[in-house]
Structure 1
């Protein structure tokens, strides 16, 4: 598990940890049943307080991403395929928002963008 924290971000450290773990679950880097480091080990690795790692794990458990077992550890919970697909579609929509902003900045019209989309989409079919 690879987590990078930014001390300059306005986002709290526990939230950064939480979002990066979610991202790794969505992308398949962390898979169902995979063990995560203990709260103490994670805190030590990231050089944060145990309270910070505990908060991230507890929130993820409440949201259904992780399951904890006393004496055994914390594991990635099973994810339903429709939930993962919904997240992937949302990420694609975020990419579209950025693409459209970039296109407008370059002075491209909607038609210009659609023509390019058609070219690239058709190129994948051949």
Structure 2
């Protein structure tokens, strides 16, 4: 539950401290995200929102599951919470990758290396999900 709460907090904060910042110049685009037209930025927004929603749902399932006395129902709630946390973690990694990719686009080599390094966690997520009972 602590992990889910932390992911919710970080994803929520990342949604407001977006990569590239906001346009501070006077005009019709004032206050808008500077990098909003970039595809990687759009993926960042979507995966960040997915991470926040999945982790918040996992926290909710933990809280509701704790009220059940019947062990089978409790285990179902916890099972789905674990799945949601893994999805939230994967979404958070993708959001991190795309957020950095967006701001490192001028240094394509560094952006690609960052994406490769971050991608190493996906086999772990796959293995974890495939071995849940």
Q: TM-score range by the shorter chain?
A: 0.3 to 0.5
More strand by share: 1
Question: TM-score, normalized by length of structure 1?
Answer: 0.33
Task: Give the number of the structure with larger relative contact order, counting CA–CA contacts within 8 Å between residues 6 or more apart.
Answer: 2
Larger Rg: 1
More helix by share: 2
